[in-house]
Structure 1
């Protein structure tokens, strides 16, 4: 029931004195006015009578809307000065230094100073020689796009990623409520299982996933021989079946990618349309921020595949396959548009980090 009006409270007081000063009798007398279930509760009636007899009032006390003493002008100024000196300080540490409670410090930061907490963006460390290489690549890519507006849609970007079958439990976020100390434990493997996945992404679809396994079907990591097997037995047949004869192939500078035999194999098929370290078109080192698989695909897939907590590598691989196959072509087209957008920013930044893209300026 909503808060009682002064008139309703007056009615309760009158009935109270008319019915032998009995709260129960008042409760019964209110039934014709409110019905069986909408009557004021016994505690409400009792509180109304007590207030009237102690304060001679039937209205609520009005309190001025003033700030709490802890959020005083002095404390607000102290928090503001603390922020100017160190923006990275944790609220817990800041409150301890200022002698304020955590809640008061948080309220001053958000409600009085109108500040927000932003996460730090992690980027690949760049070396001085990387900047000219990134700048040159952006120049080359934009020139090719100027010659052919559809050029970016003719690049097959490739990469591998590890997906762990994660059995870890965060003890700080896991609680077992019981009457006594639970003796429940969870055994964790010393080296959790993982699967290594390769994919090729272009504007028209995704080739893969390809899972690296040995002859016994066990998951293995990538080396030069396994990478060449993937190219010969999986990538090239997929390119042929999709009629991608004019496709450019991109890979990063991992050792297994740029081994002499591997580069010979790739050159024999892609010729001059190979983007790689030691290739006809040099791929800049430490440039995961301009690889669609790194700035889009792997993060997107990992955000989906663990939703049902797969218990086996087979279940994890099935989830990976399903999520990748469900990605619509329209989304991939937008990803390639984003890559072109990143090339433009990479050129204008002379190879520096893409801050305008990261922070969406």
Structure 2
């Protein structure tokens, strides 16, 4: 057998790619399946310079997928009909694993049953007809809440029927906490099942935050108002601070809108809103046109809040967070407020 120089070059390239691929796969596993971290560790392992050539993310992912599927970084040539992991036995194994732990990710399910992620995903979707249901965050209702909500709706319908302009005179208000770290990311939660389990997840968020008050109506928006002291530090919303906000901020703002003498106010049943002195301050502004706990129209407890687009670009400081809140509130078009009001009117 004649061995040429080209043959040695071929062997050298083959083994270099082989060892490079194994090293890249090892770094990928070692760094939590991060392609960027794998490239960084690869550069350190081979003592490459800052701008030294390393395998691309596509190459690392290609080698990793081959390794997961065949046990080899290099693609094996198919021999006859490809084998399938979707056997009746494997389908039963995956079903039992998912039923035991429906909140586990596909990666963890695959590790538990010692199968590839692709095979587990195919079995879940094609054979078991399971779906990854998203997390739902809802208010928990008590038994008496349903009747209170029904009575509130009936009273509101009566007010709308008695006054065609009732909704145009209504201001809906509330506070909200905006955490600097964002909110519960529902994209990270799945519940694998053949029918929707309507799972509810409660998760406290204890981070730096701001407390914001705002009111909306058909005619526009009042706010945002940040509850903070003179140094810009967050303060708790108390009855006295709520009264101060009504007198120093809401009253002058309200005079810029029509129907001031006939305006209705909605607020929830928070203690700072329903304390005796708070309700007295609210009634000084709105008379007997108060929708609230202990108000002229009782506001039902545990009513849902609106979500926000503040976190579409993640703020890094509290000042940036407040700026994003102001931008989003000021960007709400008047047409949207009108459409919301008309939608409520004709439902």
Same fold (TM over 0.5): yes
Over 3 Å counting, the alpha-carbon distance change for 1:192 and 1:116 in structure 2 is closer
Deviations 1:81-113 (A, max 9, x none): 766x56835245654665544331111112334
Show the counterpart of 2:84.
69
Is 1:112 the counterpart of 2:154 in the alignment?
no
Once the 2 structures are TM-superposed, how far is the Cα of residue 146 of structure 1 from its aligned partner?
3.5
1:265 aligns with 2:254: no
Structure 1 distance, partners of 2:87, 2:238, is 64
Pairing of 1:81-100 with structure 2 (within 5 A): 88-90=102-104, 91=106, 94-95=109-110, 98=113, 100=115
Partner SS, residue 130 of structure 2: coil
Structure 2 CA distance for aligned equivalents of residues 220 and 205 of structure 1: 27
Whether 2:310 is the aligned partner of 1:302: answer yes
CA separation in 1, counterparts of 2:326 and 2:250?
16
2:227 matched residue in structure 1: 212
Q: Deviations over 1:271-317 (max 9, x none)?
A: 22100111111111111x2xxxx22xxx224334xx15343x33322
Q: Cα distance, 1:203 vs. partner?
A: 2.4
How far apart, CA to CA, are the structure 2 residues paired with 1:193 and 1:113? 43
Q: Which runs of 5+ in 2 are unaligned?
A: 1-5, 7-76, 189-205
1:226 CA displacement = 0.9
Local SS of the residue matching 1:137: helix
Residue of structure 2 equivalent to 1:198: 213
- Give unmatched runs, 5+ long, in structure 1: 1-21, 23-60, 174-190, 345-361
Give deviations 1:201-245, integer Å, cap 9, x for gaps.
112321100112224444322111111011011111111111242
1:323 matched to 2:328? The reply is: yes
CA distance in structure 2 between the partners assigned to 1:329 and 1:87 by the alignment: 47
Among 241, 254, 271, the alignment partner of 2:270 is 254
TM-score by length of 1: 0.59
TM-score by length of 2: 0.62
CA contact (8 A) 1:195 1:212 kept: yes
CA distance in 2, matches of 1:217, 1:149: 43
Other-structure match for 2:319: 314
1 CA distance for matches of 2:182 and 2:302?
A: 31
Q: What corresponds to 2:256 in structure 1? A: 241
Cα gap change, 1:115/1:99 in structure 2, threshold over 3 Å: closer, same or farther?
A: same
Q: Distance in 2 between matches of 1:272 and 1:162?
A: 29
Report if the CA contact (8 A) 2:310-2:324 is conserved: no
Return the match for 1:284 from 294, 297, 300.
Answer: 300
Residue by residue over 1:152-204, the C-alpha shift from the partner in whole angstroms, topping out at 9 and shown as x without a partner, is: 34321111112233499xxxx9xxxxxxxxxxxxxxxxx85432211001123
Rg: which structure is higher?
Answer: 1
Find the residue that maps to 1:141 and give its secondary structure: helix
CA–CA distance in structure 2, aligned partners of residues 130 and 230 of structure 1? 30
User: Is contact 1:167-1:192 (8 Å) kept?
Assistant: no
Contact kept, 8 Å, 1:145 with 1:152, in 2: the verdict is yes
Q: Is the 8 A contact 1:250 1:274 kept in 2?
A: yes
Deviations 1:22-78 (A, max 9, x none): 9xxxxxxxxxxxxxxxxxxxxxxxxxxxxxxxxxxxxxx9988x6742112443355
- Cα gap change, 1:89 to 1:209, in 2 (>3 Å): closer
Matched residue of 2:302: which SS? coil
